[in-house]
Chains A and B, each alone.
Chain A
């Protein structure tokens, strides 16, 4: 297997020579970012109603605290967290609660989520916010993150407080994700240009609270303005803060890939970045942390990139959470009726068919493009372009064959679960095979089969336990009987012995 390692080393070296990238694979889709960076971040009038899904994060749904008809102020908590894993939800503006019910959300299966509907009164009356003390321990940071409803705003939606290690000093480096590698999306770029101080202050606050000695901000080198803005906002501190330009290559913004690029280390497949003493936050999340501390307000708004070739005035907008997509798209102007709507970028976005789908805390982009011509799908010629593009170093073409044949054990053996569904493989496939779709099906099939297996195992264990219990009962009873019988026999014998003549003794 020495030769295998040698070949991999040569390939890594060739890749680094060509792309200056520390991880395997990656692709260069057309960026199309300039169309939405021509104007500063815009604001627009409130939508008629804001739809606030109770499950914007990964974890249990928040619990409504308001009733229909109730008037709320901006920043008022309208749904509390479901402990221990959830986050609370706040009213983005003042207005009246008009409904609590099921509304569409951007989800691959087009499902609905329980949501609170708020009709803004247009006054935007704020609840009273008080600046918080700068957090000095992981616990105080955790409290701020939780009470402000902060979740990973780069798109993951993982509640931020759950990432925080319990002990100070467990994390030595905070990595700030400003890579924004998906085509079309520029909301982080614009935020870095316009609010660099908030991002840097937010980063220093988090690093301080965690006892981290180092902050590494990674920005793709296609955002020189954002890089310059952050460099200007950089200030001297006891914490070693570095702003690093990384090569523009998709998926640089994927957390594991950015960590590998910046530190040269790989995040273990069965572990987390905290195992390496690292934690990662997106720039928008850090700006939210800064606001939560310096002003005291929870997450009310976010910057969304409103873009695509079917949009009249592509730009970035700062909108209240809950704003329906349609409101935004109409404001920016829709050039074409049969356009395709996506939440997110073209590589990993989710199709949106219901235009009332609201902006949630993780919505970074609404992408409206003219419909793509249907690609002609040809057979796999095993060319291996997908393998060369895979940032995880999987064997996509073999996963494809096994997924197609439903060979679940082979899918597991080839580590399908490590697939991040970034879409590089499908992007480079000369046969235009929708590979990621096969992997999603395969993952579900593996999970279902494992759940079935676990259930069967559990049933078997219960059955065996029952049999064992019965056998034990039986044994105990028979032993008891045997003992009884033995005792009786012994008594009989004793009686007989007593009756017997005592010649022998």
Chain B
């Protein structure tokens, strides 16, 4: 369809690429904070993810007889790769990230019709796929470098990711441990109290400065505020998500502080801020109406808290988002905003 058949004949400067790059920009501080805590693993993962993603995208576009260049360079693929690598352990083997990305691009995105047509968040579908398929690898996280006696150097990290080998002097158990969420979950399952977990688990040693989860969440929060300021995301989704988490976490913590973690623990552990600003805000698979976005955020927040607290996984963003994706079309249908001039009396003026 020719653009010039119908008004308007001018349009703004914004384009899909810019939207994608702005998100990438907002996530950049988090990438460096991640690298500060866990070494350069995340950059290697990002390289693998992008390579696989671009190849898979090009191949799928070719198979679907779509023009490759414009669709490949909409750069939506960057966000998929970005969301996946932030969720994966930074030193997990290359084939983990490759499988996640392949699943995301091929099955979650292109099988449904490509950008704009997918009903499930591709990154979360890909992550959920590897989480379910390779649970052993996925639950073991690299410890923050501050908690390791001899952190890996760059070359050793590359070797670990691609060949799963380590120098003889280093034992894998010295490098890895449970994440804060995993540690509390396991502890609680073993009938420990929260205060004893916080006192004894390795991950909680080193104080707030060494708390990688906390600083990652802070950097996502700042990036998210930047996205809000630039108008790339709307306030309803993060507000709804964080509001639901806040209400549930405060309420249950009030009931039993030794069983239910505090509000600040929930807000600044795991993928809370990543989800609030970078994942649930994916426009394609989320709700699009003004109040629908709030309901979508609230729903995701409730699901994350419920699965974290009583479910089978330490964190729950992927499952919460995928479940909410299914509801998005229904939420949209239920939340059509009032149109100008509707729902007001149209009686002739009496004078």
A residues in contact (CB < 8 Å) with B: 3-4, 6-8, 11, 14, 23-24, 27, 29-30, 108, 169-170, 172, 183, 256, 260, 266-271, 274-277, 340, 342, 344, 346-351, 369, 372, 374-385, 387-388, 391-395, 397-398, 414-415, 418, 421, 423, 426-432, 434, 436-437, 440
Contact = CB atoms under 8 A, between A and B. Distances in A.
B116 A269 contact: no
A437 B1 contact: yes
A397 B8 contact: no
B338 A351 contact: no
Contact of A431 (B16, B335, B336): B16
Given A346-B10, A349-B7, A372-B9, A418 B117 contact: no
B18 A430 contact: yes
Given A3-B294, A169-B351, A376 B288 contact: no
Contact of A430 (B9, B14, B289): B14
B339 A436 contact: no
Interface string B273-291: 0000000000110101111
5 contacts: A369-B9, A381-B16, A427-B10, A428-B11, A436-B7
Given A348-B8, A440-B6, A434 B1 contact: yes
Given A369-B9, A380-B116, A393-B340, 14 more contacts: A14-B235, A269-B341, A270-B341, A271-B348, A349-B7, A381-B76, A381-B283, A384-B288, A391-B340, A392-B340, A423-B7, A427-B8, A430-B14, A434-B1
B284 A427 contact: no
Contacts of B286: 382
A30 B10 contact: yes
Interface of B: 1, 3-12, 14-16, 18-19, 70-71, 74, 76, 114-117, 234-236, 283-284, 286, 288-291, 293-295, 332, 335-342, 344-349, 351
B56 to A, nearest CB: 18
Contacts of A397: 288
B19 A383 contact: yes
Contact of A385 (B14, B340, B345): B14
Summarize B's interface: helix, strand, loop or mixed: loop
A379 B1 contact: no
Given A378-B115, A380-B116, A395-B289, A415 B14 contact: no
A119 B8 CA distance: 35
Contact of A393 (B7, B115, B236, B338): B338
Contacts of A350: 7
A434 B6 contact: yes
Contacts of B235: 14
Contacts of B3: 372, 374-375, 377, 432, 434
Contacts of B335: 4
B324 to A, nearest CB: 14
B295 A3 contact: yes
Given A269-B342, A381-B116, A275 B291 contact: no
B346 A268 contact: yes
B10 A347 contact: yes
B43 to A, nearest CB: 27
Nearest to A413: B336
A31 B77 CA distance: 35
B12 A29 contact: yes
Contacts of A346: 7-10
A30 B9 CA distance: 12
Contact of A428 (B9, B14, B76, B234): B14
Contacts of B116: 379-382, 431
Nearest to B114: A379
Contacts, number: 187
Contacts of A23: 340
Contacts of A271: 341, 346, 348
A266 B341 contact: yes
Contacts of A391: 340
Contacts of B16: 378, 381, 430-431
A105 to B, nearest CB: 17
A432 B16 CA distance: 9
A426 B290 contact: no
Given A340-B4, A381-B115, A432-B3, A395 B291 contact: no
Contacts of A4: 290-291, 335, 337
Nearest to B117: A379
B281 to A, nearest CB: 10
- Choose among B3, B10, B74 the residue with the greatest number of A CB atoms under 10 Å from its CB: B10
B70 to A, nearest CB: 6
- Choose among B3, B4, B335, B338 the residue with the greatest number of A CB atoms under 10 Å from its CB: B3
B12 A427 contact: yes
A392 B283 contact: no
Contact of B288 (A256, A378, A398): A398
Contacts of A270: 341, 346
A267 B349 CA distance: 12
A275 B348 contact: yes
A423 B8 contact: yes
Q: Which 10 A-B pairs have the closest CB atoms?
A: A423-B8, A268-B346, A379-B116, A269-B341, A437-B6, A4-B291, A271-B346, A277-B349, A7-B291, A346-B10
A342 B9 contact: yes
Contacts of A8: 290-291, 337-338
A268 B5 CA distance: 31
A370 to B, nearest CB: 12
A442 B76 CA distance: 30
A27 B10 CA distance: 12
A415 B7 contact: no
A8 B338 CA distance: 9
Contacts of B288: 382, 384, 387, 395, 397-398
B290 to A, nearest CB: 5
Contacts of B346: 268-271, 275
B114 to A, nearest CB: 7
B339 A376 contact: no
Given A8-B291, A170-B351, A430 B19 contact: yes
A451 B294 CA distance: 40
A163 to B, nearest CB: 14
Nearest to B66: A379
Contacts of A29: 10, 12
Nearest to A385: B14
A350 B322 CA distance: 45
Given A269-B341, A347-B10, A434-B3, A387 B294 contact: no
